[in-house]
Amino acid sequence: MSYELLACDLRSDTLMDRLPVTGVTAEDYIGKTGSFSGTIPVPDRAMAARVTDALIPGRTALWLLQDGGVVWSGIQWTEIVASAGRGSASVQVQAAGCESYFRDHRQIVDTLVATGEDQLDIARDLINYAQAKAGGHIGVEVPATPVSGVLRDRTYLVYDLAYVGRRIDELASTEGGFEWRINAYRDPDGARHRVLQLGYPTIRVGSADTILDLPGQVVSYRETRDATVQANAWISRGASINSNLAAASYPLLSTALTTPSDYAIGWPRLDGSSDYSSVTDQATLDQHASADLARQVRPVVIPQVTVRVGPEGLPPLGSMIRLRIEDVWNPAGRTTRHRLVGWRLQPEERGRGEIADLYLEVA
């Protein structure tokens, strides 16, 4: 499949150039930042000049298009120029999803206080705060809905110099939390959009399931059973609770959580912990601990599915997948339902079309 790469000014989204790109790998997720890598052939000086003008790491937005539709969008952070000999060259472009701007490059440089606010409004306020600073607006649209009905108190101190996106991640991971990402798309009129997407308790897209079959569109699948991070007892650490600098300092600790029902049926005790160095409130820390324990208490078997990418492309993140498998492990056939939470494109190779790894979550 052929791709086209739009290089745009990050702040204004002004189109700088349309560039050919090969060797494309791209990935996108709910809950973590996706990435992109591709190579732009530079056969002559004219193309070298175009690439030099269009691609500026740190201030260029990239839009990966296929048949006019947006496959992926993010920010160019790195480029590697390589000579191919005989006067030609190539440029490898590496980029990360727009979430990287907020997670890794924008700090909270004022003290911000939220009291009794909907947690999704706090997330919106943090993105709006970052974009309100001089030079900080990268065109992310922030819709006023949805709301969760879950009210939170939060104080973000200037002294922490915390990153905006990481504070949103921390807020989202609390018990009763939510999901967020920045969704990039092109509307029917051709306009490009980057929109803050929030979901409570999760991001769900579409009303109909996408059916994937093995044999069929599914090339292969893997199921991993992993107890290395399993825990059925949990304590979370918070901020230092000692204001006397001359005395020993100790962190705030959550209520110790255990699962006696696990021990009663034969599970050994498996301890786990987490750190929230900015949390000073006991109730908030206890909510974090409860949410962390719920995620780690039992290893969940989730298939990673490799599929052929057809002309219709991939389902959107947050959509529902109905996976139907018939093979030596499932001779009578097995049907399971999942939510799509991530994907990774693998470029075409000789004798093989484009494929994608889909990362699924139990519905």
Contacts of 16 (CB under 8 A, 6+ apart): 7, 8, 9, 53, 54, 60
Burial of 2 (0-12, 13-18, 19+ CB in 10 A): exposed
Q: How many CB atoms lie within 10 A of CB 210?
A: 19
The span from the first CA to the last CA of the chain, in angstroms, equals: 31
**One-character DSSP codes across 146-169:** ---S-EEEEEE-GGG--BHHHHHH
pLDDT at 151: 97
Contacts of 66 (CB under 8 A, 6+ apart): 1, 2, 3, 4, 313
Contacts of 169 (CB under 8 A, 6+ apart): 103
Among 143, 144, 204, 207, smallest CA distance to 178 is for 204
pLDDT at 83: 86
Q: How many CB atoms lie within 10 A of CB 303?
A: 20
Supply φ then ψ for residue 264, to 5 degrees: -65, -30
Q: Quick one: CA dihedral 84, 85, 86, 89, positive or negative?
A: positive
Between CA 134 and CA 101 the distance in angstroms is: 15
Among 154, 156, 147, 127, smallest CA distance to 139 is for 127
Between CA 217 and CA 247 the distance in angstroms is: 64
- In single-letter form, the type of residue at position 332 comes to A
DSSP 3-state of 256: coil
Model confidence pTM above 0.85? yes
Per-residue pLDDT of the chain (363 residues; tens, 9 = 90+): 678 999 999 999 999 999 999 999 999 999 999 999 999 999 999 999 999 999 999 999 999 998 888 999 999 999 999 987 777 799 999 999 999 999 999 999 999 999 999 999 999 999 999 999 999 999 999 999 999 999 999 999 999 999 999 999 999 999 999 999 999 999 999 999 999 999 999 999 988 999 999 999 999 999 888 888 899 999 999 988 766 666 677 889 999 999 999 999 999 999 999 999 888 889 999 999 999 999 899 866 667 899 999 888 899 999 999 999 999 988 999 999 999 999 999 877 776 788 999 999 887
